[in-house]
């Protein structure tokens, strides 16, 4: 049994595989995006359509990095969230209903990012458990209210069955379930999803922002 457990824990040490990526969208119309060319983005707390209460803030905490790497100034998400709370807006549903012009008046940003998390969490099966996160987003011009871009992405930590027969698969599933609970696998997978969703430079992605050396080359 010892060699089998070594294989199981070695497999479990791999945090997230590059699986579950949504197919890239082609022939995206970037006319409005190129006309607007936003420099700053305010990210609204994501809508959560999953049963996992952690989904909103898990995703929100990880969106700044890919947007900044893509060349945009992102208003500090914690400050934005607190500003909404101080003004009596405590749920993403209410926040997403605020008019674009009002968001621009409050935050002075060029664009707002609206995110919806449709899947977040771990599904347990007899011989496996899979943690998956799926999210969609749209970027809206706060001057005109026009949608500049929209996209979606997914990620999972599904490693499949690495062998060992039925007993090995059952043990692997049990080990993975424990590790997912201890390490909050959903948060790590959400990080992969946010990177796929909000990184520039691939088909169907947002365009590079003014802080990127690749600005206006896409």
Quick: pLDDT tens for 83-118.
Answer: 999 999 999 999 999 999 999 999 999 999 999 999
CA dist., res. 98 & res. 144, Å (int):
14
pLDDT at 117: 97
The domains located in the chain, with CATH, are 2-11+21-198 (3.40.50.10610)
Q: How confident is the model at residue 186 (pLDDT cuts 50, 70, 90)?
A: confident
Q: How confident is the model at residue 123 (pLDDT cuts 50, 70, 90)?
A: low
pLDDT at 183: 43
pLDDT at 66: 97
What is the pTM (predicted TM-score) of this model? 0.79
- Helix, strand, coil shares, percent, the chain, to 5: 40, 20, 40
pLDDT at 130: 80
Q: How confident is the model at residue 124 (pLDDT cuts 50, 70, 90)?
A: low
Q: What is the mean pLDDT of residues 120-130?
A: 66
Phi first, then psi: what are they for 73, rounded to 5°? -85, 125
The pLDDT tens digits for 9-58 are 334 433 334 444 444 455 789 999 999 999 999 999 999 999 999 999 99
Q: How many CB atoms lie within 10 A of CB 212?
A: 18
Structure tokens at 140: 């809206």
pLDDT at 176: 47
State what percent of residues in the chain have pLDDT above 70: 73
Handedness of CA 204, 206, 212, 214 (dihedral sign): positive
pLDDT at 27: 73
Mean pLDDT (the chain, rounded): 81
Residues in the chain: 218
Paired sense of beta strands 73-74 and 147-156, if any: unpaired
Q: How confident is the model at residue 177 (pLDDT cuts 50, 70, 90)?
A: low
């Amino acid at each position: 049994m010892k060699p089998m457990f070594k294989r199981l824990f070695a497999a479990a040490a791999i945090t997230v595989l590059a699986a579950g990526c949504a197919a890239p969208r082609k022939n995206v119309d970037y006319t409005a995006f190129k006309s607007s060319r936003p420099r700053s983005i305010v990210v609204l707390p994501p809508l959560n359509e999953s049963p996992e209460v952690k989904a909103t803030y898990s995703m929100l905490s990880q969106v700044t990095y890919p947007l900044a790497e893509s060349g945009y100034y992102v208003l500090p998400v914690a400050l934005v969230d607190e500003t909404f709370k101080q003004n009596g807006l405590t749920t993403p549903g209410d926040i997403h209903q605020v008019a674009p012009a009002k968001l621009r008046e409050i935050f002075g940003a060029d664009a707002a990012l609206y995110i919806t998390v449709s899947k977040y969490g771990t599904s347990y099966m007899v011989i496996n458990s899979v943690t998956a996160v799926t999210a969609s987003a749209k970027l809206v011009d706060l001057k005109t209210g026009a949608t500049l871009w929209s996209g979606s992405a997914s990620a999972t930590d599904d490693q499949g069955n690495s062998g060992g027969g039925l007993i090995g698969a059952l043990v692997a599933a049990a080990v993975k379930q424990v590790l997912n609970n201890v390490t909050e696998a959903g948060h790590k997978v959400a990080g992969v999803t946010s990177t796929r969703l909000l990184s520039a430079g691939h088909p169907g992605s947002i365009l590079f922002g003014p802080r990127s050396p690749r600005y206006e080359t896409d």
